[in-house]
Amino acid sequence: MTESNPNTAASPETELSPSALSVANVSKRYRTPDGNVQAIDDVSLSLAPGDFVALHGPSGCGKSTLLLMAGGLLSPDSGVLEIGGEDPYALGAEARAAFRAERVGFVFQQFHLIPFLDVLDNVLVGELAGTSTNGEFRDRARELLDRFQLGHRLHHVPSKLSIGEQQRVALARAFLRSPALILADEPTGNLDAENAAIILEHLGNFAATGDGAVLMVTHDDRAKAAAGRSVEMREGRLV
């Protein structure tokens, strides 16, 4: 369903624990040779643990900018943004990167798998510089790949996988650390109906656990229908 007022305050029950994502009066302006462009204009949005929200609107309306800010990748010009009750933009660059790796999982339309790594190492790619891949994260990666019906593909490189399988690998990578927030940018854009349904089911199941939330940018009516809440953006504002 379409949310009639996305800026409505959270219920008292939600406020007992920090929001998975809280965006309060956030704005972002880009300088261009032709002048300033107001990409995000005084936007407020809150996702509680368990929420699955679809963000949609015409191209150029600010959806991707909002997603980048929500992921700790692009600082707002004004307003406050918190993930799990903490402001990533109050941290230095190195601490923010560590915070982002711990708290946020990203899923993209183009998958962004590393072609020379096998499936298991693509899921573990963020951990390969450390030693934890020999322990809990490696076990967690195997469990996720089994759940996503990829247990028989652990040592295949991405070129040996179907498009739907590649997106499931990307999804497992995003889920690895059990983040507070999953940010998905057109996750079904390259998929047929069957594989899109699989990805949306896994995103919905993640939110249904109540441990984290999903914010998904999409033009796909199937994805909007699968989300628990739908929010429209136009000209940098939620409508």
Asked if the model's pLDDT at residue 2 lies above 80, the reply is no
Asked if the model's pLDDT at residue 140 lies above 80, the reply is yes
Q: Is 214 helix (H, G, I), strand (E, B) or coil?
A: strand
The structure's pTM equals 0.87
Spatial separation of the C-alpha atoms in residues 20 and 84, rounded to whole Å: 5
pLDDT reported for residue 109: 87
Residue type, 171: L
Are 142 and 152 a contacting pair, CB within 8 Å? no
pLDDT reported for residue 128: 63
pLDDT reported for residue 35: 82
pLDDT reported for residue 130: 53
Across the strands, what pairs with 83? 21, 86
Spatial separation of the C-alpha atoms in residues 210 and 222, rounded to whole Å: 22
pLDDT reported for residue 214: 97
Are 90 and 81 a contacting pair, CB within 8 Å? no
Distances from the Cα of 165 to the Cα of 29, 45, 103, 171, 190, angstroms? 38, 32, 24, 10, 12
Tens digit of pLDDT for each residue in 52-89? 999 999 998 999 999 999 999 999 999 999 999 999 99
Q: Is 79 helix (H, G, I), strand (E, B) or coil?
A: strand
Spatial separation of the C-alpha atoms in residues 196 and 2, rounded to whole Å: 21
Q: Work out whether strand 237-238 and strand 213-217 pair parallel, antiparallel, or are unpaired.
A: unpaired
For the chain, the distance separating the N- and C-terminal CA atoms, rounded to the nearest angstrom, is 14
Tens digit of pLDDT for each residue in 148-166? 999 999 999 999 999 999 9
pLDDT reported for residue 197: 94
Are 164 and 197 a contacting pair, CB within 8 Å? no
Asked if the model's pLDDT at residue 10 lies above 50, the reply is no
Tens digit of pLDDT for each residue in 13-33? 434 457 899 999 999 999 888
How large is the average pLDDT for residues 187-205? 93
pLDDT reported for residue 149: 93
pLDDT reported for residue 126: 77
Q: With cut-offs at 50, 70 and 90, classify the pLDDT of residue 211.
A: confident
Tens digit of pLDDT for each residue in 33-50? 888 889 999 999 999 999
Q: Work out whether strand 52-56 and strand 104-108 pair parallel, antiparallel, or are unpaired.
A: unpaired
pLDDT reported for residue 135: 72
Tens digit of pLDDT for each residue in 102-139? 999 999 888 999 999 999 999 998 776 554 455 788 99
Q: Domain 14-238, what fold?
A: Rossmann fold (3.40.50)
